């Protein structure tokens, strides 16, 4: 049965959805059950004793017993020079993401009798062309050539606003997670569809909507002028506003919204609709079908690193104390030498004179002796 596949690899859980061919068009996106107890599965891999990588919940369960062989967080590390090490074996992050995608695609192929017509895979919104090229190349090496990479916020819009309507200029996405809400203002870019613009991360849930309206105001768009706001992720109860100034969408299963939107965009891309080509001067929303891959672009420069040497304190010893106080010690030594010299001089004079010395006898003191100047 012809179908398309959308995959949302999030930090903790991975969701997937499909759209099946119904006559000349495609049906509505439906969640693809990945986990044992829920549609989502863990974004994890586990290296077993035979050297194979387990995926999803099976990997998480095995990793609970042997944490040293569990691999997580690899999707966000794509483009990093440093591979991930498990039991002394190195795994590039893009290879690990490809293994996760292969496991999901194989599961879908078993259900629908073959590979998908098109695959849409989400990525973080701050990725540049280099990281996307690295992931596309790894997917192509694994046989996935009909692939489109989209930011997660654009995929979330695809669940409710796949294409900007007439007169639409901006829309918003509020992605609820464990570390707060990631708020993104997307703008309409003509044939390229939605393009992620200004964003804020780690926003308090109560301030998510006001933060989005502030971003819209900075872009000269009023809250009422937004085409809509999509709430996705782990949306808490009573998070939706009572009287919003613009349409607000949450869907029946907010955690799966991004995957459902990815499947809807995959249906558009399979019919060669949506985004015919990538705008060169801006970040990618939807990339064209990959048939041949060119050389990788230049790696983005790393920021400069200033290293300040740490000076260890000197050991407390009499010699070090003398070195630190050398001018003062020299003055004290000079003064002590001067005082000693004076004392030695005075003592020598007293020893030479003697305490009981009397004047020598003289015949001038005899009686009857003549007196006068010049005579004795």
How far apart CA 180 and CA 160 sit, in angstroms, is: 23
* 54 part of a folded domain: yes
Confidence of residue 308 (pLDDT cuts 50, 70, 90): low
**Position 371 in a domain:** no
* Whether residue 43 is found in the same domain as residue 107: yes
Last residue of a domain, one of 250, 266, 291: 250
Q: Kindly state whether residues 245 and 281 are assigned to the same domain.
A: no
Residue 63 shares a structural domain with residue 177: no
Tell me: do 205 and 215 sit in the same domain.
yes
Nearest CA to 200 among 213, 220, 182?
Answer: 182
| Cα–Cα nearest to 258, from 124, 146, 158, 131 | 158
Q: Do 17 and 278 touch, CB atoms closer than 8 A?
A: no
Judgement on whether residues 265 and 212 belong to the same structural domain of the protein: no
Residue scoring higher pLDDT (340 or 351): 340
Q: What is the pLDDT of residue 37?
A: 85
Can you list the positions of beta strands (E) in the chain? 3-9, 13-22, 25-26, 30-31, 41-42, 44-47, 53-55, 70-72, 84-86, 89-91, 119-123, 147-151, 170-177, 180-188, 194-203, 229-233, 248-249
Asked whether residue 194 falls in the same domain as residue 306, the answer is no
CA distance 24 to 275: 20
Looking at per-residue pLDDT, the higher value among 351 and 187 belongs to 187
pLDDT at 347: 76
Spatial separation of the C-alpha atoms in residues 201 and 276, rounded to whole Å: 30
Q: Sorting pLDDT into bands at 50, 70 and 90, what band is 178?
A: confident
* Average confidence (pLDDT) over 120-129: 93
Domain residue limits at 212: 166-250
DSSP state of 88: T
pLDDT at site 24: 86
- Do residues 288 and 242 share a domain? no
Name the residue with higher pLDDT: 274 or 157. 157
196: nearest Cα among 148, 128, 247: 128
* Mean pLDDT computed over 108-126: 95
The pTM score is 0.73
Which pLDDT does position 345 carry in this prediction? Answer: 78
Q: What is the mean pLDDT of residues 73-85?
A: 92
269-299 pLDDT, tens per residue? 988 765 433 333 333 333 333 344 555 666 6
pLDDT at 20: 95
Query: What is the per-residue pLDDT for 17?
Result: 97
Is residue 269 domain-shared with residue 289, that is, in the same domain?
A: yes
Looking at the fold, whether 147 and 55 belong to one and the same domain comes out as yes
Given 250, 267, 294, the domain boundary residue is 250
- The predicted structure's pLDDT at residue 90: 92
Average pLDDT across the chain, whole number: 83
Which has the higher per-residue pLDDT, 248 or 285? 248
Residue pLDDT, tens place only, 189-220: 876 789 999 999 999 999 999 999 999 999 99
Do 96 and 194 belong together in one domain?
no
Residue 210, pLDDT score:
94
In this predicted structure, what is the pLDDT of residue 266? 95
Does position 86 have pLDDT exceeding 50, yes or no? yes
Show which of 219, 250, 281 is a domain's final residue: 250
Whether residues 170 and 296 share a domain: the answer is: no
Over residues 57-62, mean pLDDT: 95
| Cβ atoms of 255 and 232 closer than 8 Å | yes
CB–CB of 1/112 below 8 Å? yes
Please count the structural domains in the chain: 2
pLDDT of residue 138: 96
In this model, does residue 356 exceed pLDDT 70?
A: no
**At 55, which CATH number?**
3.30.420.40
Checking if the pLDDT of 238 tops 70, the result is yes
In a domain, 281, yes or no: yes
Query: In which element (H, E) is residue 43 found?
Result: none
Q: Assess whether 234 and 259 both reside in one domain.
A: no
Instruction: Evaluate whether residue 78 is within a structural domain.
Output: yes
Query: Mean pLDDT, to the nearest integer, of 229-244?
Result: 90
> Would you state the pLDDT for residue 280?
35
Confidence (pLDDT) at 374: 44
**pLDDT computed for residue 242 by the predictor:** 86
Is 166 a residue whose pLDDT tops 50? yes
Per-residue pLDDT at 155 exceeds 90: yes
341 lies in some domain: no
- Residue 350 in domain: no
pLDDT at res. 286: 38
Q: Between residues 277 and 41, which one has the greater pLDDT?
A: 41
Q: Is the confidence at residue 118, as pLDDT, over 50?
A: yes
Which percentage of the chain shows pLDDT scores above 90?
A: 58
pLDDT surpassing 70 at residue 98: yes
């Amino acid at each position: 049965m012809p179908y398309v596949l959308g995959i949302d690899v999030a930090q903790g859980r991975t969701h997937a959805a499909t759209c099946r061919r119904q006559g000349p068009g495609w049906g509505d996106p439906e969640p693809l059950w990945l986990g044992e107890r829920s549609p989502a599965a863990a974004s994890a891999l586990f290296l077993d004793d035979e050297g194979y990588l387990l995926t999803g919940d099976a990997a998480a369960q095995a990793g609970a017993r042997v944490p040293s062989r569990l691999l997580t967080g690899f999707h966000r590390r794509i483009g990093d020079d440093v591979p991930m090490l498990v039991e002394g074996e190195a795994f590039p992050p893009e290879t690990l993401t490809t293994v996760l995608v292969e496991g999901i695609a194989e599961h879908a192929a078993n259900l629908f009798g073959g590979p998908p017509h098109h695959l849409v895979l989400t990525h973080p919104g701050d990725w540049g062309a280099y990281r996307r090229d690295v992931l596309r190349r790894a997917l192509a090496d694994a046989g996935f050539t009909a692939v489109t990479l989209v930011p997660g916020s654009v995929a979330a819009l695809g669940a409710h606003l796949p294409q900007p309507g007439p007169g639409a200029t901006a829309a918003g996405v509020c992605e609820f997670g464990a570390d707060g809400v990631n708020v993104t203002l997307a703008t309409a870019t003509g044939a390229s569809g939605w393009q992620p613009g200004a964003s804020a991360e780690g926003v308090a849930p109560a301030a998510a909507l006001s933060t989005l309206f502030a971003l819209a105001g900075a872009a000269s768009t009023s809250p009422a002028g937004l085409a809509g706001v999509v709430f996705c992720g782990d949306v808490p109860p009573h998070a939706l506003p009572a009287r919003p100034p613009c349409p607000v969408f949450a869907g029946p299963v907010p955690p799966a919204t991004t995957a459902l939107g990815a499947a809807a965009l995959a249906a558009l891309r399979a019919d060669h609709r949506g985004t015919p080509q990538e705008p060169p001067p801006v970040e990618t929303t939807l990339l064209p079908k990959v048939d041949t891959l060119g050389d990788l672009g230049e790696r983005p420069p790393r920021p400069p690193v200033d290293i300040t040497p740490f000076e260890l304190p000197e050991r407390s010893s009499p010699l070090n104390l003398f070195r630190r106080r050398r001018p003062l010690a020299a003055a004290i030594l000079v003064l002590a030498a001067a005082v000693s010299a004076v004392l030695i001089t005075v003592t020598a004079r007293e020893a030479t004179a003697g305490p009981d010395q009397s004047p020598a006898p003289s015949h001038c003191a005899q009686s009857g002796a003549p007196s006068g100047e010049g005579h004795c």
